[in-house]
A and B are shown apart, each in its own frame.
Chain A
Amino acid sequence: MTSTNNQILQVKDLKLNFKSYLGLAEVINNVSFSVEANTWFGLAGESGCGKSVTAFSILKLLPDSAVIESGQILYKDQDILKKSERQMLRFRGQEISMVFQDPQTSLSPAMRIGDQLIETLEVHRKARGKADARDKALDMLSRVKISSPRLRFRQYPHELSGGMKQRIAIAIALLCQPNLLIADEFTTNLDVTIQDEIIKLVVELQKEFNMAVLFITHDLALIHESCSRMAIMYAGQIMEIGAVEAIFKSPLNPYTKGLLAAVPVITGKVEKLQGIGGFVPSLINPPSGCRFNTRCPHMIKGVCDRKVPDVVKIGPDHYVYCHLF
């Protein structure tokens, strides 16, 4: 899709279904995007659009009910989907790691913070002995700006605030110096002032560690603040993809336009917000063609509901999946 060969991750025509007792849910439908090394890529969309499932499939953390129909996920030159579970155990954390939404559940409540960091180092054989592991863990805690790391080392997660817990989770994710960090709604549960601090911290760490960040969120404003490229997903399909500046300046897909018109802002004059009418379709027997056609104000009968739109290049780094173009 994009021209540069600096891509660290390429998802190509990924198609993924979930088996359910109601039938086959077509959760991801021909999704393609790529993440360049050392940059932030934002994957945005509303709940149920498949953005988290995409992330999980990159790390092969899918439940048994998920079936990958077709497609490739390339990390550098390796096809992740062809890796065995044994290979994945080393791969996760070392090459790609992930930070989840809720540090309350991603950290073990029964282990001291320090032990959770050391465990990660030992599993990946990144430390020479206990003392070395301890030094490395303490160093990582100070890099995520945890004050008095020695004290925190001995504490349990419940003794820390939400923002600190998330920073611990980030520290664990970065321990083996991955090349790609997947951040799945990792600031959603935090207060806005803490969210601001954590985003800034990860922007700093991204540069320090020379890694790429795949940022999955429903919050378009956060993507605007942090990412250089982005993709908008709806009901398992990509709607628009490209440079953040281009998409925010001139959104093309009616869905992207609708989303941006619905975000309340705090700068400038208050303008009437426009919701998007209708409901997200069921992914069991989803609408044929463009899945947004049931809610789209510009739907062309006989076209949009028949044929899945192909990608159209609009600008240097701006692509849209829509029959209007």
Chain B
Amino acid sequence: MGNDHMENTLIQLKELKKYFPSRLGKKKFTRAVDGVDLSIREGEVLGLVGESGCGKTTLGNLILGLHTLTEGDIVFEGRSIAGMKPRTLKEVRKNMNVIFQDPFSSLNPRMTIVDIVKEPLVEISGRSVKKDVLAEVMENMNSVGLSEEHLFRYPHEFSGGQRQRIAIARAIINRPGFIVLDEPTSGLDVSVQAQILNLLIRLKKKFNITYLFISHNMGVVKYICDRVAVMYLGQIVEVARSEDLFEGPRHPYTKKLMAAVPDIREKKIKVAGAQVSDEIEEDQDIEGCRFYPRCQHRREECLYYPPRWHTIGAEHRVFCDRAVEDS
């Protein structure tokens, strides 16, 4: 299977599944996450990429305990989270946090910035000495590039980039070892995005945080991630070190994804008979490979037999039988 257990594993996902009941069509379930094996190492930035609806956000939410598992297990710092009692889970969760895409909805519009940032400190870590709390809030505000004058304002007074900084200050105040970043820069302008990415890298080094970086933007993923997992319709299809993946993508889906990313260095569009994939038959009920309907390298057997995991390089694994045939 797609296992890559290592010494310094922080989080281990084992055969993780999450099915949502579905009322649409004949299907009984939407298999948002369907058998994911993945490990996240201490101190790394693991990128999780894929198109909308592929299950990447659900996967992040599962790790955070925001959804219950349908099947499988999550091991966090050596402890199994599945079936953990709520009180113990709360204890474990102190060490995790999340930053969402849209800072316009993730911050309570009726709370001042100081209340927003200090809330985890008071509610989760149970700190109560006002002076200490304020000092700590200030320290965190400073490390994300905000100053004292911002403390008693409300979220609507800030721009998108500043709000994301507030969300980051709140996320790091309990010094979690692990943060899920769910499209943290998708709503931002490119000049602000660069600032936030650099801030995230700086904080990671300073506080030794592990990130799961969920994104659909391949350029951003290449910039910030050490390793990347590519997800398609609920399954991971390729995992590799960032430089290996971008230099030599092996899975047909990863290749398609990379070929579609526009670039400011190289022109890619050579228009000759633009192909349009129509109603993308996203079919989870295919017995074989789920990418079959869109795959350019498909063969008949792909439709009937599920692909296996193949190891290519040191840390490069791909979930496709075609990808290893020629080499």
Chain A residues near B (Cβ < 8 Å) = 46-47, 145-147, 160-161, 163-164, 167, 191-201, 203-204, 218-222, 224-226, 248, 258-268, 270, 272-277, 279-280
Q: Report the separation of the CA atoms of residues A161 and B51 in the bound assembly, to the nearest whole angstrom.
A: 13
Does B222 contact A266, Cβ atoms closer than 8 Å? yes
Q: A193-B260, A203-B271 are in contact. Are A273 and B223 (CB under 8 A)?
A: yes
What CA separation (Å) do A48 and B160 show in the bound complex? 12
Cross-chain contact B191 with A259 (CB below 8 angstroms): yes
Interface string of B216-252 (1 = CB under 8 A from A): 1111101100000000000000000000001000000
Report the bound CA distance from A258 to B195 in whole Å: 12
B28 at the interface (CB under 8 A from A): no
A sample of 21 inter-chain contacts (CB < 8 A) reads: A46-B190, A163-B280, A191-B216, A193-B51, A193-B257, A197-B260, A197-B277, A224-B262, A224-B263, A260-B264, A262-B190, A262-B191, A262-B194, A264-B193, A264-B219, A265-B219, A266-B246, A266-B258, A273-B198, A274-B194, A275-B196
Which 4 residue pairs of A and B lie closest in terms of their CB atoms, listed nearest first?
Answer: A264-B219, A275-B195, A196-B260, A200-B274
| Contact between chains at A196 and B223 (CB < 8 Å) | no
Question: Measured between alpha carbons, how far is A172 from B191 in the docked complex, in Å?
Answer: 35
Interface size class of B (residues with CB under 8 A): 35 or more
A266 to B223, CA, bound (A): 8
B269 within 8 A of A: yes
In the complex with contacts A191-B51, A264-B217, A145-B262 CB distance below 8 A = no
Within 8 A of A (CB), among B9-40: none
Q: Is B194 touching A224 in the complex (CB atoms < 8 A)?
A: no
Are B223 and A270 neighbours in the complex by a CB distance under 8 Å?
A: yes
Chain B positions near chain A (C-beta within 8 angstroms): 51-52, 159, 161-162, 189-198, 216-220, 222-223, 246, 256-269, 271, 274-280
Smallest CB separation, A246 vs chain B (Å) = 14
| Nearest-CB residue, chain B, relative to A276 | B191
- In the complex, what residue of chain B is closest to A268 when comparing beta carbons? B265
Within 8 Å by CB of B218, from A161, A218, A266, lies A266
Nearest opposing residue in chain A for B277, CB measure? A197
Which of A146, A167, A203, A262 lies at the interface centre, i.e. has the most chain B CB atoms within 10 A of its CB? A262
Q: Which residue of B lies closest to A159 (CB)?
A: B279
With A224-B264, A262-B194, A276-B194 given, name 20 new contacts (CB 8 A). Answer: A163-B280, A164-B279, A193-B277, A197-B260, A197-B277, A200-B269, A200-B274, A224-B267, A225-B262, A225-B263, A226-B269, A260-B264, A264-B219, A264-B223, A266-B261, A266-B263, A272-B198, A273-B223, A276-B191, A279-B161
Q: Judging by beta carbons under 8 Å apart, are B264 and A221 in contact?
A: yes
Distance between Cα atoms of A88 and B269 in the complex (Å): 35
CB-nearest residue of chain A relative to B54?
A191
The contact of A147 among B198, B261, B279, by CB within 8 Å, is: B279
A310 to B51, CA, bound (A): 44
CA A222 – CA B52 in complex, angstroms? 20
Which A residues are in CB contact (< 8 Å) with B194? 261-262, 264, 273-276
Contact with B278, one of A146, A218, A277 (Cβ below 8 angstroms): A146
How many Å lie between the Cα of A8 and that of B318 in the bound state? 51
